[in-house]
């Protein structure tokens, strides 16, 4: 019961961060600040969601798989954020 | 409720993709459409198709669309009104027929029960793989043939285009670093297809994703051109070879003997995985 509450609230916190990131993507002015909002909030939100789901899986293997997924998403999202920002910088220069 | 929202979003993105004047935005909405249909497949508890749909529909297709739309400037694609009407009428007839079928078919007449009944004869434990490679192997053989032909067509046309590249040292290094991991994971997914969610096309499209990343950052595979072509055509050759070999021995075209069926299906699956990856890589890169 306690674990369920913990897991659900973690997933909710993660979804909140994802929502904030999406709002930032729509509302902010230029590409850099949009990217800033999106990458940070996404990474944190996704981390919370993974943490929340981790409490509700049964085996250790599944939890480890979730951690691997999280690492991959973090690495890829930072590469993509860098690449978009860099191509924007090159285009402006 | 969630299904209805996803379905509505899917319809909305399809409409936006069709109605948009800008080719790039149209492509973006098409990608959203692919992602939404992937989510819908998950809701229908068909994770095999969802995986392919999300990898191909929203990742590989988007690269192809953006690569092609880069050179094209302001071509107003306006289909005639009768063509729209024709397509709409066809879809409506199909929709009515399928709805009618869905509400009238009895539970025991569905094909799924038959598949589970005969599953032990197929040599694999996953029903999806059993249908794809054993019960309806003929369809899959023709599918492999179609993508091989498509890649040959692209190879014949494409070398005039410039390679679409992205000179960036970080992307360059990371794509190189991640390719082995992605290749390993795609083989794992392929192997998983024998008894769980996964399979050759899933693994192949995943491999194609890694290769697309490599190709986008302006590199090519560190193998020569002839071996690449050989590996890309491998699955068709292996599939046809197995089919004819068993036909000549006397089992019938694409009918595996029970003892060898697991081995043959696994070999065909691995070859399809490698070839699908390389064929999509050829399609994205435009040359070997």
Query: CA-CA distance, A53 to B37, in Å (whole number)?
Result: 23
B230 with B278: CB under 8 angstroms? no
At residue B151, the 3 state secondary structure works out as helix
Q: How many CA atoms lie within 13 A of B76 on its CB side?
A: 2
Query: CA-CA distance, B286 to B156, in Å (whole number)?
Result: 9
What confidence category does residue B285 fall into, taking pLDDT thresholds of 50, 70 and 90?
Answer: confident
Residue B156 within any structural domain of the chain: yes
Residues in B touching A79 (Cβ below 8 Å): 170-171, 174
Question: For residue B258, is pLDDT > 80?
Answer: no
Query: CA-CA distance, B269 to B202, in Å (whole number)?
Result: 10
Residue B159 within any structural domain of the chain: yes
Residue B29: CB partners within 8 Å, gap ≥ 6? B13, B14, B16, B17, B20
Q: Chain A contact for B237, CB < 8 A?
A: no
pLDDT at B126: 80
Counting every residue written for chain B, the total comes to 288
pLDDT at B110: 74
Q: Which residue of A has its CA nearest to B173?
A: A79
B47 CB neighbour count, 10 Å cutoff:
16
Write phi, then psi, for A23 (nearest 5 degrees): -60, -40
Residue B52 within any structural domain of the chain: no
What confidence category does residue B18 fall into, taking pLDDT thresholds of 50, 70 and 90?
Answer: confident
Query: CA-CA distance, B30 to B23, in Å (whole number)?
Result: 10
Asked whether the CA dihedral B240, B241, B245, B246 is positive or negative, the reply is negative
Number of compact structural domains in chain B: 1
B27 with B66: CB under 8 angstroms? yes
Residue B36 within any structural domain of the chain: no
More confident of the two residues B72 and B118? B118
Question: For residue A29, is pLDDT > 80?
Answer: yes
Question: For residue B242, is pLDDT > 90?
Answer: no
Out of B52-61, B102-111, B153-162, give the one with best mean pLDDT: B52-61
Angle (nearest 5°) at CA A66 between A62 and A72: 145
Question: For residue B61, is pLDDT > 70?
Answer: yes
Share of chain B above pLDDT 70, in %: 93
Query: CA-CA distance, A18 to B28, in Å (whole number)?
Result: 20
Residues in A touching B168 (Cβ below 8 Å): 83, 86-87
In the 8-state DSSP scheme, what is residue B58? I
Question: Cα B59 to the chain's mean position, in Å?
Answer: 11
Residue B13 within any structural domain of the chain: no
Nearest CA distance, B217 vs chain A (angstrom) = 11
At residue B231, the 3 state secondary structure works out as helix
Residue-wise pLDDT tens digits, B77-118: 666 788 888 988 999 999 999 998 888 877 767 777 777 777
Are B166 and A82 inside 8 Å of each other by CB? no
pLDDT at B77: 62
What tokens appear for A50 in the block?
A: 């993974």
Query: CA-CA distance, B122 to B262, in Å (whole number)?
Result: 8
Residue B4 within any structural domain of the chain: no
What confidence category does residue A31 fall into, taking pLDDT thresholds of 50, 70 and 90?
Answer: confident
**Own/partner pairs, B58-63, CB within 8 angstroms, 24+ separation:** B58/B31, B58/B32, B58/B34, B59/B209, B59/B212, B60/B205, B60/B208, B60/B209, B60/B212, B60/B280, B60/B284, B61/B30, B61/B31, B61/B34, B62/B27, B62/B28, B62/B30, B62/B31, B62/B34, B63/B212, B63/B216, B63/B284
Q: What is the mean pLDDT of residues A17-34?
A: 88
Asked whether the CA dihedral A14, A19, A25, A29 is positive or negative, the reply is negative
Query: CA-CA distance, B29 to A22, in Å (whole number)?
Result: 17
Residue pointed to by tokens 């192949």: B204
Q: What is the mean pLDDT of residues B248-252?
A: 80
Reported ipTM exceeds the 0.85 cut: no
Residue B57 within any structural domain of the chain: no
pLDDT at B89: 94
Residue B244 within any structural domain of the chain: yes
Structural domain range at position B244: 116-288
Q: Chain A contact for B188, CB < 8 A?
A: no
Q: Chain A contact for B253, CB < 8 A?
A: no
B214 with B283: CB under 8 angstroms? no
B38 with B58: CB under 8 angstroms? yes
Asked whether the CA dihedral B192, B193, B198, B204 is positive or negative, the reply is positive
Are A87 and B170 inside 8 Å of each other by CB? no
Q: Give pTM, 2 decimals.
A: 0.83
pLDDT at B249: 82
Residue A69: CB partners within 8 Å, gap ≥ 6? A50
Question: For residue A12, is pLDDT > 90?
Answer: yes
């Amino acid at each position: 019961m306690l674990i369920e509450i913990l897991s659900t609230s973690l997933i909710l916190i993660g979804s909140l961060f994802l929502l904030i990131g999406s709002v930032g993507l729509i509302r902010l002015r230029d590409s850099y600040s949009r990217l800033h909002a999106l990458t940070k909030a996404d990474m944190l939100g996704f981390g919370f969601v993974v943490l929340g789901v981790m409490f509700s899986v049964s085996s250790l293997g599944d939890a480890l798989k979730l951690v691997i997924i999280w690492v991959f998403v973090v690495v890829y999202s930072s590469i993509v954020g860098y690449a978009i920002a860099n191509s924007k910088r090159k285009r402006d220069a | 409720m969630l299904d209805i929202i996803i379905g509505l979003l899917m319809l909305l993105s399809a409409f936006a993709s069709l109605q948009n004047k800008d080719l790039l935005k149209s492509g973006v909405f098409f990608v959203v459409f692919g992602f939404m249909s992937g989510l819908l497949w998950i809701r229908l508890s068909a994770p095999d198709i969802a995986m392919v749909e999300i990898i191909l529909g929203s990742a590989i297709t988007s690269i192809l669309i953006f690569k092609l739309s880069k050179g094209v400037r302001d071509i107003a694609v306006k289909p005639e009104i009768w063509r729209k009407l024709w397509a709409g009428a066809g879809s409506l007839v199909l929709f009515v027929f399928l709805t009618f079928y869905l509400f009238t078919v009895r539970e025991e007449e569905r094909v799924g029960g038959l598949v589970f009944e005969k599953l032990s004869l197929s040599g694999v434990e996953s029903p999806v793989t059993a249908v794809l490679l054993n019960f309806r192997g003929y369809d899959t053989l023709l599918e492999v043939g179609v993508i091989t032909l498509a890649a040959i067509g692209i190879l014949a046309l494409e070398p005039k285009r410039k390679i679409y590249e992205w000179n960036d040292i970080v992307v360059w290094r990371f794509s190189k670093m991640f390719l082995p991991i992605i290749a390993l994971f795609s083989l794992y997914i392929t192997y998983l297809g024998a008894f769980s969610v996964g399979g050759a096309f899933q693994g192949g499209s995943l491999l194609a994703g890694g290769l697309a990343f490599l190709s986008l950052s302006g590199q090519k595979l560190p193998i020569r051109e002839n071996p690449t072509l050989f590996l890309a055509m491998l699955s068709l050759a292996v599939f046809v070879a197995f089919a004819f070999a068993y036909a000549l021995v006397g089992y019938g075209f694409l009918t595996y003997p029970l003892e060898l069926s697991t081995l043959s299906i696994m070999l065909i699956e691995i070859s399809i995985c490698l070839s699908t990856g390389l064929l999509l890589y050829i399609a994205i890169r435009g040359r070997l």
